[in-house]
Amino acid sequence: MKRGDVTELAGSCGLGAWTAFAVLTMVEVGHAGAPLFADHDLSAWSAGRRPDVAVAFAHGLTATATGVVPYALAALAGIIAGRTPRRRALAVALCLAYLGTGRLLEYAATASVARPRPPAAGWDAHASGWAFPSGPATTAALTAGLLICAVCVRRPRGRIPLALAIGGWGALVGLTGVYLGVHWFTDVVGGWLFALGWLGVCLCAVVRWLPEPWNPGTTEPDARHAGADGLQASC
């Protein structure tokens, strides 16, 4: 894909996702934090289906989207995307800034909406703070999107199954919050939409204003002579 095509696609996806997030937020605020759509049914379903092995697995998945792990994965995405030391350093810095700023914006949104969590009697994990959008769902989706973009830039063999596996991980982390009873399903959907919006905005900005073409098929000297339309960032 050409640079202009990537910019347009990323910007459109980001704008669409944030529009959907805004609509969902307004609906949630209008219902004063009450369960929406399938929230109650999914929470009730999960409450009766929590064997110890599944709960332990869910806790392990959730842990991959907390602490330093997402930042380590973001740095890995930058290393994968860059082909030279200079480009790797720039990519790592951009990836860490993207993730850190995205999480700060998510915290601000969570505090502004102030949606209560499901009743504590149904929890099977420790949780604190407000519920919407889900923090682990947002963080995992932000990180998964970054890794998928890095895989698309490098275009290795087997990239499609790898991208699907990464996306599956990001989705499952979000769903663990519902399974463990600490989030409503719409909290998770809100996290996914927020993350997709931020990814689209950041990808659009990077592709539009990157100082030099990012063509994974060329070496550093060749890239300096490539045209702006030489950018290739698709799977």
Q: Is the pLDDT of residue 43 over 70?
A: yes
The pLDDT of residue 5:
72
The residues near 143 (Cβ < 8 Å, ≥ 6 apart) are 65, 70, 73, 74, 77, 99, 170
The pLDDT of residue 156:
73
**How much is the average pLDDT of 60-76?**
95
Structural contact between residues 183 and 137, judged by C-beta atoms closer than 8 angstroms: yes
The pLDDT of residue 208:
79
Q: Is the pLDDT of residue 15 over 70?
A: yes
**How much is the average pLDDT of 88-116?**
94
The residue among 99, 78, 96 whose CA lies nearest residue 88 is: 78
For residue range 150-178, what is the model confidence (pLDDT) as tens digits?
998 887 778 899 999 999 999 999 999 99
Cα separation of 185 and 181, whole Å? 10
3-state secondary structure of 83: coil
| Helical H segments across 31-84, by residue range | 39-47, 52-63, 69-81
Q: Which of 119-123, 124-128, 185-189 has the highest mean pLDDT?
A: 185-189
**Mean pLDDT rounded to a whole number for the chain:** 86
Q: Token pair of 43, please?
A: 């929470």
**How much is the average pLDDT of 197-214?**
79
Cα separation of 171 and 104, whole Å? 21
Q: Is the pLDDT of residue 219 over 90?
A: no
Angle at 139 between CA 136 and CA 141, to 5 degrees: 105
Lowest mean pLDDT among 70-74, 108-112, 200-204, 209-213: 209-213
Q: Is the pLDDT of residue 122 over 70?
A: yes
Which contiguous run of DSSP H or E holds residue 9? Answer: helix 3-30
For residue range 86-98, what is the model confidence (pLDDT) as tens digits?
889 999 999 999 9
Lookup result for tokens 């409503």: 184
Lowest mean pLDDT among 16-25, 58-67, 147-156, 213-222: 213-222
Structural contact between residues 174 and 185, judged by C-beta atoms closer than 8 angstroms: no
The pLDDT of residue 211:
57
| Count of other CB atoms within 10 angstroms of residue 234 | 12
Q: What percent of the chain has pLDDT over 70?
A: 88
